[in-house]
Structure 1
Amino acid sequence: MERRGLDAYGYFEREGSLGLVQPAFAAPVAAARGRIAEAYGPRLHSAYLYGSVPRGTARPGRSDLDLLLALHREPCDEDRDTAEVLGRVLDQEFPETDGVGILLYGKDRLLSERERYDLGWFLACLCTPLLGADLAEHLPRYRPDSLLARETNGDLALVLARWRERFEAASEPAEYRRMSRGFSRHLVRTGFTLVMPRWGGWTSDLTESAEVFGRYYPRRAAQMRDAAAVALAPVADRDVVRGYVEDLGPWLAAEYTARHGTKAPR
Structure 2
Amino acid sequence: MSALPAPHGLDARGFIAREGSLTRVPDAFRPVVAAASERLAEAFGARLDSAYLYGSIPRGTARVGRSDLDLLLALHEEPDDADREAARALGEALDAAFPQIDGVGTLLYSRARLLSELERYDLGWFVSCLCTPLLGEDLAAHLPRYRPDALLARETNGDLALLLPRWRERIAAAADTEEARRPLVRFMSRHLVRTGFTLVMPRWNGWTSDLAAMAEVFGAYYPRRAAQMRSAARYGHEPCGNGVILRSYVDDLGPWLAAEYTRVHGTKAPRPD
Smaller-chain TM-score bracket: over 0.9
Residue 177 (1) aligns with residue 189 (2): no
- Alignment match, 2:44: 40
Aligned pairs (5 A) from 1:62-141: 62-141=66-145
Letter in 2 for 1:27: P
Deviations 1:92-151 (A, max 9, x none): 111111110000000000000000000000000000000011000000000000000000
The structure 1 residue matched to 2:241, chosen from 236, 239, 244, is 236
Please report how far the alpha carbon of residue 15 of structure 1 lies from its aligned counterpart in structure 2 after TM superposition. Answer: 0.6
- Alignment match, 2:264: 259
- Count of aligned pairs: 266
* TM-score of the aligned structures, taking structure 2 as reference length: 0.96
- Alignment match, 2:231: 226
Please report how far the alpha carbon of residue 2 of structure 1 lies from its aligned counterpart in structure 2 after TM superposition. Answer: 2.4
- Alignment match, 1:159: 163
* SS, match of residue 63 in structure 1: coil
Using the alignment, how far apart are the partners of 2:99 and 2:188 within structure 1?
24
Using the alignment, how far apart are the partners of 2:93 and 2:183 within structure 1?
19
Letter in 2 for 1:133: E
Please report how far the alpha carbon of residue 173 of structure 1 lies from its aligned counterpart in structure 2 after TM superposition. Answer: 1.6
Letter in 2 for 1:100: V
Deviations 1:208-253 (A, max 9, x none): 0000000000000000000000000010111111111111111100
Q: Which runs of 4+ in 1 moved over 2 A?
A: none
* TM-score of the aligned structures, taking structure 1 as reference length: 0.99
Letter in 1 for 2:32: P
Using the alignment, how far apart are the partners of 1:18 and 1:27 within structure 2?
12
Using the alignment, how far apart are the partners of 1:62 and 1:112 within structure 2?
35
Letter in 2 for 1:49: L
Please report how far the alpha carbon of residue 198 of structure 1 lies from its aligned counterpart in structure 2 after TM superposition. Answer: 0.3
Using the alignment, how far apart are the partners of 1:76 and 1:215 within structure 2?
44
Q: CA RMSD in A?
A: 0.7
Using the alignment, how far apart are the partners of 1:183 and 1:3 within structure 2?
25
Using the alignment, how far apart are the partners of 1:255 and 1:84 within structure 2?
36
* SS, match of residue 73 in structure 2: strand
Deviations 1:3-24 (A, max 9, x none): 2110111111111100000011
Please report how far the alpha carbon of residue 172 of structure 1 lies from its aligned counterpart in structure 2 after TM superposition. Answer: 2.2
Residue 247 (1) aligns with residue 249 (2): no
- Residue segments in structure 1 that go unaligned for 5+ positions in a row: none
- Alignment match, 1:18: 22
Deviations 1:134-184 (A, max 9, x none): 000000000000000000000001111110001112222212101000000
Identity of aligned residues (%): 69
